[in-house]
Structure 1
């Protein structure tokens, strides 16, 4: 069985919450027991905040020619030629005008369109290769360094290098982890204002009803049922629930910039809770291994496929002995899908080579540092430890999200813990920041960059998030053809963000490409019959399309999503069939088969202005096909009678 890596003790008076007694566990998380009292007064928010990031795109380039007196026409021609060579296949930018000359006599030139980060790199590289050019760089808009306005960030010493933490505030100027998902394999999750909006569907993998406390086996509900224990049950003294998974999730990716609570290491990332630890904070290796594989998108016998595979797996837990094939195979399955597995070194002040999964191959092993940057006294050490991250001490613990319940969940609050369990999600969050820059980066490369950029008082171990993120070159993806035309004419990077994939094959000869802006993904689909149209993945209309099987289900989008009075809709075409997905606040999102018998009658009756918005999809009942609509109409169809309605 496994244990979490956390400890808890009384905290310094300056913190908003105190901590209580330490956890003593067999196979358990690596953190400390939090207190669950609300602070009586909120600490001041950081003074410096910025409402938004500076844009990543630019339409300006700075070029210093060796012959600064060369004719302007010759300089512009050189830039145009470089753009033609560097950006072949895209709409080639041209010099529109000269903005100014800098103090060092470099020319600032404006192009006729904005370049994304990848295009900037290509153009600048081409210009630097020109023997007439002394140097070249993109001219970018700058902003003040981003600092979240969350109420308790002043108490999160781990975020501030001048307080003994590491460079997260600088890393956030480069990446927030947008588009990434962190799987937290732990005690599950509880409802919390700093977490709820970050959740993607997870799973409960506890197959032992003695541990699960929910009275059933594996299911789709990863709620933390409480890991409390009575006196003598798991330890001599009774113990309250730790809410360990909730605490770890907050450190990894808690909501930021909402004027309340704490900020996570990867504030733009999502969280996938996978419940593997139950009563007494224990869990079976066989369940945890299945959770690792499932979180990464690998098949697990008897379990449904994970529709939202995570980008990185966090394991703030350990168990004694060597890594066996069950856990190693699960880790390998994740790594083979380019999903790094970040694990806690453990809290026993021993060599981590004697505890699993820290001694498993292909893992990123995290030890804990104190607020002075030295190895925390409790942290396991040894050659298998790849990096140290702030894990806290009894006097300087780690503040994060917890629950106010002593046994079962009640309301969300904040509490302090310390341990390698707390250090691990800071590294998992850093990995999410790195993977925003290059989603295809391999776990081996992630580990190598984390280690090579580490710095601090120990010289080669202290996590440096900003340096690690900076070491990952942003991936450049090409946008061409009909998809590129649709992207640009509807707002381009400014509206939809930059591409995070190259164009790829879709069903029945079509194509698709994905774009992300501020964590929101859209997919542009193209087919010969429908042209290019945009599916907004995050809207309820977009989610319905995805749940319906994407283009293999409803077909290719024939329109973009349209907002109309009372709701929104999008039309899809598959062969000769057309399906309209409609959404209203009262009915949710449902599909009408417009070329079907019921859908055709609905259209003739005046669409949503007649029968109303669809309140269900089509369904079978009593030998009939039926569908209900918001104006009290239920449509019926049989082959013998055709379509009729009842109110």
Structure 2
């Protein structure tokens, strides 16, 4: 007889399910009496409490207001959404798989500034600059930069000094060490640029407290600045999936592995349709009372990698990852271990007898499920097969508030086991614990559950909606999403190394157990050693301009950019360049670390100036780069005397500047275009100020 599967995710105020008034022991006894041979699984029901109250009050605005005032806010909001949003559930467009091009993936590591606090803060500026220049010569010899300016004095009377080139991290350390060796100096450090944490624009992100560190969750925004899980696939082994606008663009062809018509509900055995048929049951089938469908797999999939930054719905933990739905739990949320083990094997890309090959092997396998007893050879062999193919297997610890060592697959070897934390970061009262638990992730509570994609059907699938569940089932996809982001940075990471990073970077009130996505992703050095490939126009440009010897290796696969373009990033010695391609400009390189590259980034990258039409060109006295956005052409120029400014060559002022001889005529731009009393102006280094208005057109003054 197959080992029965029991997967539990509490909903109600007590951490044991109250649906039908039965405990898990009662449910298993019922299974034995009925001879079904598959275990019962309890589930979270997003609107069972607040949703029902809102539904009952919906016909009366005043009654509805009273209900919402006395309902926990996340439940009230999402339950209301479940009722009001269903009629308009048009599928939203997919958000970008690639990191938003308006935000750098990493804060730049290079800097052309140092902060120096002198003991004598009133010392002459020239003497201070001499100390810095001498230290740079001692540290870097022939490569020493020169001081170009004292930018400002800080509130503590330290001087911010600008150099004529950027220093990488190694150079910064050498120069700072030499500066601090001077007896005139109190302290010195590199002045670094910081980047804002990317936040998606999805409507309900603000209710996803588990993603936001300021709301007792964990730091996913910090991880998103480094990676989004692009190019990775999360296999969700669960009840299947329902059609949902916040999931469909992410879903790859999955499979139904239920090989038992008593559980499958679709009347057949294994097939290519992983749709959740509903795990509802009539009274007496799974428990004393009837149960509605949980749509558990749909909820888990949304938490792992729901469509993100599309202006509607929820945010997934790994915004760039794809979802591989694999149905292993059916009627009564039951599934056979033998079927689940085959699903693990197939998801990893290994062969399963009688099944077609998986064209989209998983980067990580998520199992928000468990069953009592020891891990048998069937499941352990399947997990070992996945791990041997470099696919980590992430499993829920279970929700019985017992030692997870007595629950499978949490007690299987080669797994990453996830317990649930509450809003304080402590172990949730329902979560299994023990030595086999590797990490805690937010799992929610009855008072503060977790919002994700859901379905409005009570038995068979209905309209797409959003709803709340909680449990270790909800914590697990947050860890799977984190792993997808880690594997984007280095796809060759082994499961053992991933587990070590996840556990070693953990933090929180328990000291070293709470998931820290930002720290885990940051701890993964981008591989850059053949992990990503180059092709097409971007690959041709990379090779033609020196390839890895000049620009380093790719640190991501080619990805979509704005308006039909493409981009790919490369790193050498910590310095990043991005090669952009568009049909109008072809492929060209942006050097992210230069002052011109930073100007391009701060203007919105290709969504601002457009695509680079040239590389960065060094000319006598400075450098420049040209960008095109449709019919608009912008040239960004830099010189040591004028700084970095943009000229809109397709505009009236920029066009006149070109006719006057570019920088050889009016000179280098000393400002961008700006407006004064309705008049557009721009100044140039040879004393020319250009003016333009609609009424008068263009004129210049000196």
Q: Which TM-score band (shorter chain)? A: 0.5 to 0.7
The superposition leaves residues 78-137 of structure 1 with CA deviations (integer Å, 9 ceiling, x where unpaired) of 449xxxxxxxxxxxxxx9x99766645462516xxxxxxxxx9xx644786799977999
Question: Within 5 Å, which residues of 2 pair with 1:394-409?
Answer: 394-409=446-461
Contact kept in structure 2, 1:178 and 1:518, CA below 8 Å: no
Correspondence for 2:574: none
Contact kept in structure 2, 1:200 and 1:272, CA below 8 Å: yes
1:188 alignment partner, SS class = coil
| Inter-partner Cα distance in structure 2 for 1:67 and 1:302 | 75
Correspondence for 2:163: 107
How much does 1:251 deviate?
A: 0.8
1:402 alignment partner, SS class = strand
| Inter-partner Cα distance in structure 1 for 2:423 and 2:326 | 30
Correspondence for 1:68: 132
- The answer to whether the aligner puts 1:52 opposite 2:119 as a matched pair is no
| Inter-partner Cα distance in structure 2 for 1:432 and 1:341 | 12
- The answer to whether the aligner puts 1:166 opposite 2:218 as a matched pair is yes
| Inter-partner Cα distance in structure 1 for 2:502 and 2:108 | 30
The equivalent position to 2:247 in structure 1, one of 182, 187, 195, is 195
Contact kept in structure 2, 1:58 and 1:138, CA below 8 Å: no
Correspondence for 1:330: 382
How much does 1:3 deviate?
A: 2.6
Question: Within 5 Å, which residues of 2 pair with 1:162-241?
Answer: 162-241=214-293
Which one has the bigger helix percentage?
Answer: 2
The superposition leaves residues 478-521 of structure 1 with CA deviations (integer Å, 9 ceiling, x where unpaired) of 6899985434779x99xx997258xxxxxxxxxxxx53467999
Name structure 1 gaps, 5 residues minimum.
Answer: 12-18, 43-49, 81-94, 111-119, 502-513, 525-533, 537-647
How much does 1:33 deviate?
A: 1.8
The superposition leaves residues 212-256 of structure 1 with CA deviations (integer Å, 9 ceiling, x where unpaired) of 111222111111111111111111111111100000011111122
| Inter-partner Cα distance in structure 1 for 2:178 and 2:349 | 48
The superposition leaves residues 369-393 of structure 1 with CA deviations (integer Å, 9 ceiling, x where unpaired) of 1112221111111110111111111
Change (3 A) 1:218 1:480: closer
The superposition leaves residues 591-631 of structure 1 with CA deviations (integer Å, 9 ceiling, x where unpaired) of xxxxxxxxxxxxxxxxxxxxxxxxxxxxxxxxxxxxxxxxx
How much does 1:69 deviate?
A: 2.6
Correspondence for 2:12: 9
Contact kept in structure 2, 1:63 and 1:133, CA below 8 Å: no
- The answer to whether the aligner puts 1:319 opposite 2:400 as a matched pair is no
Change (3 A) 1:365 1:243: same
Contact kept in structure 1, 2:366 and 2:476, CA below 8 Å: yes
The equivalent position to 1:476 in structure 2, one of 528, 535, 545, is 528
| Inter-partner Cα distance in structure 2 for 1:483 and 1:138 | 34
How much does 1:32 deviate?
A: 1.2
| Inter-partner Cα distance in structure 1 for 2:135 and 2:426 | 59
How much does 1:67 deviate?
A: 6.5
Change (3 A) 1:220 1:164: same
How much does 1:144 deviate?
A: 2.5
| Inter-partner Cα distance in structure 1 for 2:40 and 2:357 | 27
Correspondence for 1:527: none
Change (3 A) 1:230 1:28: closer
| Inter-partner Cα distance in structure 1 for 2:238 and 2:566 | 28
Change (3 A) 1:210 1:20: closer
How much does 1:414 deviate?
A: 0.9
- The answer to whether the aligner puts 1:419 opposite 2:474 as a matched pair is no
How much does 1:475 deviate?
A: 1.9
Change (3 A) 1:58 1:172: closer
How much does 1:168 deviate?
A: 1.5
- The answer to whether the aligner puts 1:33 opposite 2:45 as a matched pair is yes
Correspondence for 2:685: none
2:395 alignment partner, SS class = strand
Contact kept in structure 1, 2:417 and 2:438, CA below 8 Å: yes
Query: RMSD of the TM alignment (CA)?
Result: 4.2
Contact kept in structure 1, 2:232 and 2:322, CA below 8 Å: yes
Question: Within 5 Å, which residues of 2 pair with 1:95-174?
Answer: 103-105=159-161, 107-109=163-165, 124-125=169-170, 142-174=194-226
Question: Within 5 Å, which residues of 2 pair with 1:496-507?
Answer: 499-500=554-555
| Inter-partner Cα distance in structure 2 for 1:60 and 1:488 | 25
1:368 alignment partner, SS class = strand
2:8 alignment partner, SS class = strand
How much does 1:28 deviate?
A: 6.1
- The answer to whether the aligner puts 1:448 opposite 2:500 as a matched pair is yes
How much does 1:522 deviate?
A: 8.9
The superposition leaves residues 518-566 of structure 1 with CA deviations (integer Å, 9 ceiling, x where unpaired) of 7999999xxxxxxxxx9x9xxxxxxxxxxxxxxxxxxxxxxxxxxxxxx
- The answer to whether the aligner puts 1:280 opposite 2:338 as a matched pair is no
Correspondence for 1:644: none
| Inter-partner Cα distance in structure 1 for 2:424 and 2:108 | 41
Question: Within 5 Å, which residues of 2 pair with 1:515-526?
Answer: 515-516=558-559
Correspondence for 1:270: 322
1:314 alignment partner, SS class = strand
| Inter-partner Cα distance in structure 1 for 2:305 and 2:20 | 26
Contact kept in structure 2, 1:31 and 1:422, CA below 8 Å: no
| Inter-partner Cα distance in structure 2 for 1:204 and 1:133 | 65
| Inter-partner Cα distance in structure 2 for 1:344 and 1:397 | 17
1:364 alignment partner, SS class = strand
2:287 alignment partner, SS class = coil
Change (3 A) 1:452 1:100: same
How much does 1:469 deviate?
A: 1.6
The superposition leaves residues 320-355 of structure 1 with CA deviations (integer Å, 9 ceiling, x where unpaired) of 110011111111111112111110011111110001
Contact kept in structure 2, 1:175 and 1:434, CA below 8 Å: yes
Correspondence for 2:356: 304
Change (3 A) 1:351 1:199: same
The equivalent position to 2:491 in structure 1, one of 432, 439, 443, is 439
Contact kept in structure 1, 2:139 and 2:175, CA below 8 Å: no
TM-score (norm 1): 0.64
- Which structure has the larger Rg over C-alpha atoms? 2
Change (3 A) 1:78 1:324: farther
| Inter-partner Cα distance in structure 1 for 2:484 and 2:371 | 26
Change (3 A) 1:498 1:30: farther
Aligned length: 473
| Inter-partner Cα distance in structure 1 for 2:375 and 2:295 | 27
How much does 1:166 deviate?
A: 1.4
Contact kept in structure 1, 2:132 and 2:179, CA below 8 Å: no
